[in-house]
Amino acid sequence: PGRKIDVLPVIGSTNQHLLDKIGQLSSGDACVAEYQYAGRGRRGRQWVSPFGRNLYLSLYWRLEQGPAAAIGLSLVVGIVLAETLHELGATGVKVKWPNDLYLEDKKLAGILVELQGKTGDAAHVIIGIGINLTMENTSTDQIGQQWINLEQSGIRIDRNTLAAAFINHLIDALHLFEKSGLTPFIERWYAFDNYLNREVKLIIGEREVVGVSRGINGQGALLLDQFGEVTPYIGGEISLRGI
Ligand code: BTN
């Protein structure tokens, strides 16, 4: 069956749009919007989504093995987005563990994966990406962190070309992920890892850990090297030490 893409001028959130019609979707169905008035970020944050030429895209996937099999999936999405941008000429785009894209040490894109389904059943997965292609009329105060768009670093990529290439590559990657898990992606992650061998600070709730990032393991955990001892961490947010 052909894949369906809802192209909407305005919506609250493309993720929510797909969540609302989960029963009618098949794997690979997608939604893009020009503007989101309730764009969602991770940890309950908002995703500022002005009109312009940014890409707000969500894709539905039915994961037969159930919700537990989704561990590491957001890393796969980041890898595919970085690879697609690279293929279209955006050099210097990197992945930030666990699920952002960075350019020049500033945030370029965010990924929000939302899951529905009980253990034992297939999981419904909504994969959402927001990427800054241009960001006119938006102040940094509205966003609350250092961000960048492709255009300000001299990279112009056609939005529809990007959306189509990304969807195709993502679907290929999701098939591979279902078959083999994260393992075939580890090397691909290393090729784009913004923090590899750099000293980082990891904040996990109230705790703060400093170490040298050594990439990821097969479960998608961050590997932190502290005086030669490497420990996997499954949660938290990293930043460069001193930032
Ligand atoms: C983050 O970095 O916090 C994740 C941001 C994810 C934003 C995208 S834009 C398309 C999709 N719809 C949403 O409401 N959010 C995601």
Please write the tens of the pLDDT for every residue from 119-165: 788 999 999 999 988 866 555 555 556 788 888 888 889 999 999 99
Choose between 242 and 53: higher pLDDT: 53
ipTM over 0.90: yes
Instruction: Specify the amino acid at residue 9.
Output: P
pLDDT digits 0-9 by tens, 74-112: 999 999 999 999 999 999 999 999 999 999 999 999 999
Q: Note if 42 is an active site residue.
A: yes
Q: Which of 222, 242, 218 lies closest to 231, judged by CA?
A: 222
Asked whether 13 lines ligand 1 (CB < 6 A), one says: yes
Q: Which of 65, 56, 77 is nearest to 9 (CA)?
A: 56
* Candidates 3, 107, 188, 201; catalytic one: 107
Instruction: Quote the pTM value.
Output: 0.94
Pocket test for ligand 1, best of 15, 95, 99, 113 (most atoms within 8 A of CB): 15
